[in-house]
Chain A
Amino acid sequence: MTRSGFPNDENRMTNVPPLRDWRSFVIRLSAFVILCCPLCAFGHAIEYLTARLTLLPDRGVRLEMTADHASNPLIPDEAAALAALKNPLHLKNGAHWLPLSDLTVPKIEHHQDWSRCAPPNLPPPPPEAEHALITATWEWRHPGDTLTFTVPKGNMHDVFLWQPPTEEVGAPPRWMVLLAGDVTREIPVLPSRHPFWLLFLIPPALLLPWLVRRRLR
């Protein structure tokens, strides 16, 4: 049996509201990470790319993918990290798969802040671990109602895809691991704040007072 026969997570990656209080989230995340650190005496190497998916209002999507060229045994240097981030996921576009690289030019950042790359229930690497992180951020307005991602076949880098926790108390982050060829379930995007059909109500609403006044005369 090949791995392609295995099911994907269908339970945990669901639509969540966008973070309205970013600072609160960061504080809670930091506190949790600090509390967890002593538990992780000697962690694993981080052998996948992390992908933080944030759904924004009005069909907005932000995807932050991070490669660590200090701790990931598959990524020996900066050039390899940038190469790994070139085409890490494909996005379903109708009947086709669209490489992220064809979607938009990502913003590239070099940093060492592991806490923004992974959810608190993924234990951080050991405190002594070195990080050399590169995050590529794609942001776009999605035309469809749902998002579906896949890791291209033949890609060596597994992807840890996660969504930040909601404001709901105790709500855990959603996450899943994707190996080459794996496909996510359909992830609903957040709808537009102002439905399209509202546009049709504007002319009658403007005309109504005029009609009423005219009738009263």
Chain B
Amino acid sequence: MTKSILSLLSVVALTGGAVAEVAYEFVPNFITPPPGKETIGNGHGEIAVDSSGKIYVSVQEANAGVQVYGTDGKFIKALPLPQSLHGFVVRKDGDGEFLFAAVLGEQKVIKCDLDGKVLMTIPTSEFPADKIGKGLKLTNCDVAPNGDIYVVDGYGQSHIFVFSREGKFKAVFGGPGEPLKLANAHKIFIDRRFEPARVMICDRGHKRMLHTDLAGNFIGEIATEMRNPSSASFHGELMCVAEIAGNVSVWDKNNKRVADLGTAPKLTNTPGIEPKDWQQGVVTSPHGITFDNEGNILETEWNKWGRVLRWNLKK
């Protein structure tokens, strides 16, 4: 029985989407690594797309923490950013488009232009001292419509901090206690599919996703019993989710799962799966994810060698 389910899932994953409402097809070997490299490099980060379609992937390389690819997947350049950009987003804000990143290894948040020039830093000292605990372990950030910057201490106490556009501390919510009781809130995102926008939290320790309002008031659970949700992205009314234990899922605005992609036949959650064991269209440990501007899905993995997969929206 188990083998039948496995076969069915594999076929579904390799051939495209799962339901009629939305369908995807896998694009093999989409990314062309930087010259001289067979893979993109140690991955433990995020992937994002700017308004022109360029793709940004964080890798753990000193002073070259983000690689930029064209819409065709060909390497363009590396940005001189820290190597521990565990989570980042590319967002339009005010009169420009910027990269906002949580620098896990340096306990800070940075805002930079799309050439990698750092324009603003939110240092550790700007966080409330009583919430720092043994040290901040910042895993992601996002920007609300009013310019407020939301930051999560996902490998720490799972507090969600709110800063003004200028980087001044405003508020904090979440954490391990009531009412949200978060555990390893790996990444958070501002879900602009709703008006007013909401905070979408990947509460990975509880294998669930949930919504709060922008003040941190609980709205509801989106899904439970997931394969450890780690990252998400939005396009139109859809949300795609990277589940680190081996799945990519797509959800509609009513919290209905409408597709599963690349489902791994065995549960994963390790960066040690070597390129020789990679299978086309099957994920290992999804860690970052984004829609591009056409609704196609790009996913990056927690993997020592670095890996990016792509599924195109079937139209």
Contact = CB atoms under 8 A, between A and B. Distances in A.
For B83, B176, B204, B245, the residue with the greatest tally of chain A CB atoms inside 10 Å of its CB is B245
Interface in A1-21: 1-12
Contact of A42 (B9, B84, B157, B267): B84
A177 B245 contact: yes
A44 B257 CA distance: 28
Contact of A73 (B154, B225, B268, B269): B154
Contacts of A7: 2-3, 5-6, 9, 265-266
Given A10-B3, A42-B60, A176 B267 contact: yes
A180 interface: yes
A187 interface: no
A112 interface: no
B205 interface: yes
Nearest to A47: B184
B109 to A, nearest CB: 17
A217 to B, nearest CB: 67
Interface in A155-201: 156, 158, 160, 175-182
Given A6-B267, A7-B265, A123-B304, A42 B2 contact: no
Interface residues of A, number: 38
B131 interface: no
Contacts of B6: 7
For B42, B224, B268, the residue with the greatest tally of chain A CB atoms inside 10 Å of its CB is B42
Contact of B2 (A8, A122, A179): A8
A73 B183 contact: yes
A9 B273 CA distance: 15
A103 interface: no
Given A123-B304, A177-B268, A41 B184 contact: no
A73 B184 contact: yes
Nearest to B2: A7
B213 to A, nearest CB: 25
A31 interface: no
B227 to A, nearest CB: 5
Chain B interface residue bracket vs A: 35 or more
A74 B207 CA distance: 12
Contact of A178 (B42, B83, B267): B267
A180 B257 contact: no
B302 A44 contact: yes
Contacts of B312: none
B83 A156 contact: no
Contacts of B247: 6
Contacts of B5: 5-7
A73 B185 CA distance: 9
A66 B156 CA distance: 20
A8 B9 CA distance: 13
Contacts of B245: 3, 158, 177, 179
Contacts of A149: none
For B137, B206, B257, B267, the residue with the greatest tally of chain A CB atoms inside 10 Å of its CB is B267
Interface string B276-306: 0000000000000000000000000010100
A49 to B, nearest CB: 12
Contact of A6 (B104, B176, B205, B227): B227
Given A40-B304, A41-B83, A123-B304, A177 B271 contact: no
A83 interface: no
B205 A73 contact: yes
A12 to B, nearest CB: 7
Given A5-B5, A7-B6, A74-B183, A44 B271 contact: yes
A121 interface: yes
Nearest to A72: B184
B233 to A, nearest CB: 20
A180 B207 CA distance: 10
B228 interface: yes
A45 interface: yes
10 closest pairs, A vs B, by CB? Answer: A9-B266, A7-B6, A177-B267, A73-B184, A2-B225, A7-B2, A41-B60, A73-B155, A121-B272, A45-B155
Interface of A: 1-12, 39-45, 47-48, 73-74, 76, 121-123, 156, 158, 160, 175-182
12 contacts: A1-B260, A5-B5, A7-B3, A8-B267, A10-B3, A11-B266, A73-B137, A74-B205, A175-B270, A179-B267, A180-B207, A181-B225
Given A12-B266, A176-B266, A182-B267, 12 more contacts: A3-B207, A6-B5, A7-B2, A8-B266, A9-B265, A42-B83, A43-B271, A47-B205, A73-B184, A74-B183, A177-B269, A181-B225
